[in-house]
Structure 1
Amino acid sequence: MRRASVVRGTRYSINAALKTDPICQCIAAARRLVGHFKKSTKATTALTHKQKQQNVAEHKLIQDVSTRWNSTYFMLERLLEQRWPVTAVLSDPEITKRSERGLDLTTAHWLTADDTVAVLKPMITLTELLSQDLNASLSATLPMLINMKRRHLVLRNEDSPTTKALKTELAKEIDTRWQLTENITTSIYIQAAVLDPRFKSLSFFDQHEREDAYSTVSDLAESLSTEAAPESDHDSISPAEEGEPEPKKEKQAEISMLMAIDEEEHAEEKDELKMYLADKTKVHSGPLAWWQKNEHRYPKLAKAAKRLHCIPSTSTPSERIFSKAGFIVNKSRSSLLPNNVDKLCSSHII
């Protein structure tokens, strides 16, 4: 599977779905309506008065940015919240001109906005979870996308035509951009999911797919362990053994023979992957904290976990840093010392 920013891929998928009719028409009408209130101080003041009269939260309308799908979601959500105060202002002849009363959304538009917000709401949560700075997110990417597709985006009889069309388009875009219809058992996302105790059961796979995924992770852990292990010559003799009397060596051999556990039983007992998959230890603070506590129990798998969980699923955190640094370092502050820039960036990020 292609390595890409999850948030960027999600954005492309949702933007494609929002361009379908009648959703794009509803969004265009909502932009015109919000733009009217943003430009008219009289309309904004009247809206606040109507909010107090109708006991509605005194929130301002939100103007969306066409390149940010989440802003479109928040615009529609806020409009739905403020529907009746907005309608009251537009229908008041003392506030709104006759030529501007047609800016109010039609009943069909309001229904479309309601359907769109209902479908996109879990996508907002998904994006926020995967954009967090301090939590490992790669392992949660495909499990969340697959569950989103199989549970939230499944078509139901009670869905409106708009909802069905939006769900169908989103599911198609997710399949295309994340290649969910292909064999993804060897994907880096699935490997990370196996090494996340929250998703290791891979409940969204059948038995054959699970076995393939587990085999891939087992091979990765073995290869990393082999790379990390120092090369040793079994025929060489250590300095301590070189001058050791022969009787003492024989005694150690006898003790080792008496204390040894059967080789096959020992190997079976130490099968890390089987033990890990059977482990019922709960995850309280995310996979990183879990592996920090249990690294000694699964040393080989821990190496693979370190390799995978350090990979962010999205470039959002780094983009935030660059954006904040751009606001801090500008022409009027070009004399800032590097140390001060680091401190200012760190304080803004925290």
Structure 2
Amino acid sequence: MPQASGSTQTQLELVHPLSAKRKEDITKGIVHYIAQDMRPVNTVEGEGFKNMFKIVEPRYTVPARETVMRALRSQFDGLKVNVNQLLQSSEAASLTTDLWSSLRMEAYMTVKAHFIDADWKMNSVVLETKQMDEAHTGENVAARLTQVADTYHIPPEKRVSVVTDNAANMVLSVELLKGSGQWPDVELVRCAGHTLQLCDVATRWNSTCFMLERLLEQRWPITATLSDPNYTKRSDSSTLDMTTEQWNMAEDITDVLKPFITLTELLSEETNTSLSAAFPMLENLKKSHLAVTDNDSPTKKKMKLKLVQEIDSRWKLKDRVVMTSSLYILAAVLDPRFKQLPFLNDEKRDEAYSEVVKLAQRLSLSGDSAEQTGDDEDPLAKKQKTAKEKEIAMLLCGHGAEDDPDEPSAQRSSCDEMKDYLKDRSKVDTAGPLAWWKNNEERYPRLARAAKRLLCIPATSTPAERIFSKAGFIVNKSRSCLLPKNVDMLVFLAQT
């Protein structure tokens, strides 16, 4: 049989030899399969893999492991160049980071970058997943973050924030970065998901909520089983069965906590402009779901009051200074869905608008100085709108009679843009606020720069934490000897 198979393959190759293009495409497919599905590179050396190709494409010779590794390394280097270019062209970048341990108890630190590109698309890319042998102190974490930012040539003024959990070393690292001078504008964003968890108990409560929800779902089968002498001893029934009061308490706890899980999930989606939605959704949660009613049980009432108190305390929602300068608030101003800030009084609202105007003005000044060496086209020389176009713009923009429709956007101040933006009643469709800004960037160029800077910040560190599960497929028992540099490469390829 082997002789016949070999003879058939030789005859096939003589009649229809495999083209170089076909060989290249198959090899690329193998490399892509290993990179994206996180398969061991030694897969290509397996007998099963080779036998499969004898059937699928007998004219193709499976490449050696070294060949696949060279291809992976080349792809890795090329993608890093692309990521570097994207970061250079972005307005700002926010980083998420966390530490995790492999099966061999090797500590790794993952860093992801989040930014909005020229087409107003949210980008989330892995920058680095490298072993961290040194102590996990705030100083060492800060040094590693600086090293990553420098490797990708992210200018200091573009390093807008670092999103981490509430661990003391992570918080300290951002404080050290801010005081170092290399990260002049960086702000710490504590993971909203982790903070929500701490609002109830010191440990994660979502698994408890899921457990209670499942228990309530199976209440009657459980009760029937506990009361059936064929399955439960009479002496055990009285101790195992739950009272009506306990069942009602489980139901109350579940009802209160379920919206928190939904909120956490929404804030953890990487494609969402999550930071801008955090405070509005928290305020709506307090106003609606956590509002105490006459029908609430003592358990539910106590939980609601405690959760409102914890939310206000952990996000400092009662602190006037924090509220008007918080990244959460500034981002909400630049999200057209929440720009009216209905949860603030008039004084705080005006102060928040003023902070955004200052930011837009500062970014505009730095941008204008950079652009002076480029295109010197007179903005007045641009094509003027027709009367019909002006009418359409007026109808869509909602500008009042006091606005000058002929005034070029480049000549309007940040304050003027803010006034017009707040009066703008154009709707945000299902595509979201980034699509809205893409359509309105030319009308509010200064505010648009500030929007790209603030709306790229995630509300949670979940993007970095998600790498842990991905890395678990890579650093598994069959690859326990995988070199740390290859872990970095494979995680990068799988996520980019």
Q: Same fold (TM over 0.5)?
A: yes
Partner of 1:74: 210
Q: What residue number does 2:420 align with?
A: 275
**What corresponds to 2:467 in structure 1?**
321
Identical residues among aligned pairs (%): 54
User: What is the distance in 1 between the residues matched to 2:371 and 2:434?
Assistant: 32
2:432 to 261, 264, 286: 286
Choose the corresponding residue for 1:149, options 276, 286, 296: 286
1: distance between equivalents of 2:301 and 2:254? 13
**Structure 1 residue aligned with 2:199:** 13
Q: 1:174 to 1:270 in 2, by over 3 A?
A: closer
Against the structure 1 CA distance between its residues 75 and 199, is the aligned structure 2 distance closer, same or farther, given a 3 Å change threshold? same
Indicate the structure with greater strand content: 2
Tell me the equivalent position of 1:26.
none
Residues of 1 paired with 2:414 and 2:361: CA distance? 16
Shift of 1:7: 0.4
| Inter-partner Cα distance in structure 1 for 2:348 and 2:495 | 43
Alignment of 1:51-200 (within 5 A): 67-101=203-237, 102-183=239-320, 184-200=323-339
Q: Deviations over 1:143-170 (max 9, x none)?
A: 1111211222121111111111000111
Is the CA contact 1:325–1:345 (under 8 Å) kept in the aligned structure 2? no
Following TM superposition, by how much is the alpha carbon of 1:331 offset from its aligned partner in structure 2, in angstroms?
A: 4.3
Are 2:485 and 1:341 aligned? no
- Asked whether the equivalents of residues 328 and 344 of structure 1 are also in contact (C-alpha less than 8 Å), the reply is no
User: Does the C-alpha gap of structure 1 residues 10 and 339 become closer, same or farther in structure 2, counting only changes over 3 Å?
Assistant: closer
Instruction: Name the SS for the 2:200 alignment partner.
Output: helix
Q: Take 1:262 and 1:316, find their aligned partners in 2: how far apart are those partners?
A: 44
**Inter-CA distance 93–166: structure 2 relative to 1 (3 Å threshold):** same
CA distance in 2, matches of 1:310, 1:188: 11
Please identify, of 114-123 and 281-290, the stretch whose mean Cα deviation from structure 2 is larger.
281-290
- For 1:327 and 1:151, locate their aligned partners in 2 and report how far apart those are by CA, in whole Å: 42
What letter corresponds to residue 231 of structure 2 in structure 1? I
In structure 1, C-alpha distance between the alignment counterparts of 2:303 and 2:420, rounded to whole Å: 43
Query: Which amino acid in 2 is paired with 1:92?
Result: D
Aligned partner of 2:363 among 218, 224, 230:
224
Runs of at least 5 residues in structure 2 that lack an aligned partner in the other structure: 1-186, 382-405
Corresponding position: 1:214 with 2:214: no
Are the equivalent residues in 2 in contact too, given 1:328–1:345 (CA < 8 A)?
no
SS in 1 for 2:443: coil
**Is the CA contact 1:272–1:298 (under 8 Å) kept in the aligned structure 2?**
yes
**CA separation in 1, counterparts of 2:263 and 2:244?**
30
Alpha-carbon separation, structure 2, partners of 1:267 and 1:296: 12
* Amino acid in structure 1 at the alignment position of 2:319: E
Q: Distance in 2 between matches of 1:297 and 1:291?
A: 9
- Which residue identity lines up with residue 274 of structure 1 in the other structure? K
For residues 450 and 414 of structure 2, the distance between their equivalents in structure 1, rounded to whole angstroms, comes to 20
1:300 matched to 2:450? The reply is no
Displacement after TM superposition at 1:97 (Å)? 2.2
The structure where helix makes up a greater share of residues is: 1
CA distance in 1, matches of 2:419, 2:279: 23
Residue 14 of structure 1 aligns to a residue whose secondary structure is coil
2:64 aligned partner: none
Relative to structure 1, the CA distance from residue 189 to residue 128 in structure 2 (aligned partners, 3 Å threshold; closer, same or farther) is same
Q: Counterpart of 1:273 in structure 2: which amino acid? A: M
Deviation at 1:130, TM superposition (A): 0.3
Change (3 A) 1:339 1:207: closer
Distance 2:317 2:334 in 1: 20
Are the structure 2 counterparts of residues 298 and 128 from structure 1 closer, same or farther at C-alpha, using a change threshold of 3 Å? same
Q: Which sections of structure 1, spanning at least 5 residues, go unmatched?
A: 17-66, 241-251, 253-260
3-state DSSP class of the match of 1:3? strand
Q: CA deviation at 1:344?
A: 6.9
Cα displacement (A) at 1:262:
9.1
1:100 maps to a residue whose letter is D
Q: TM-score under structure 1 normalisation?
A: 0.71
Distance 1:225 1:123, change over 3 A: same
Which of 342, 365, 369 matches 1:203? 342
Task: Determine the C-alpha separation between the residues in 1 that align with 2:493 and 2:219.
Answer: 42
| Alignment-mate amino acid for residue 288 of structure 1 | L
Instruction: For 1:112, give the aligned amino acid.
Output: M
Instruction: Please give the alpha-carbon distance, in whole angstroms, between the structure 1 residues aligned to 2:493 and 2:246.
Output: 45
Going from structure 1 to structure 2, the CA distance change for 1:107 and 1:214 (only over 3 Å counts) comes to same
Residue 338 of structure 1 and its aligned partner are, at CA, apart by: 6.0
- C-alpha deviation, 1:342, in angstroms: 4.0
> What is the aligned-residue RMSD (CA, Å)?
2.8
Q: Partner amino acid for 2:199? A: S
How far does the alpha carbon of each residue in 1:204-239 deviate from its partner, in whole angstroms, 9 at most, with x for none? 112112111111111110011111112799xxxx9x
Aligned to 1:28: none
Aligned residues: 271
Tell me, in whole angstroms, the C-alpha distance in 1 between the residues paired with 2:425 and 2:249: 45
SS at structure 1 position matched to 2:467? helix
Shift of 1:87: 0.2
Secondary structure of the equivalent of 1:224? helix
Distance 1:262 1:323, change over 3 A: closer
1:108 Cα offset (Å):
1.1
Q: Distance in 1 between matches of 2:243 and 2:464?
A: 42
Residue 216 of structure 1 aligns with an amino acid whose one-letter code is: E
Contact 2:333 2:352 in 1 (8 A): yes
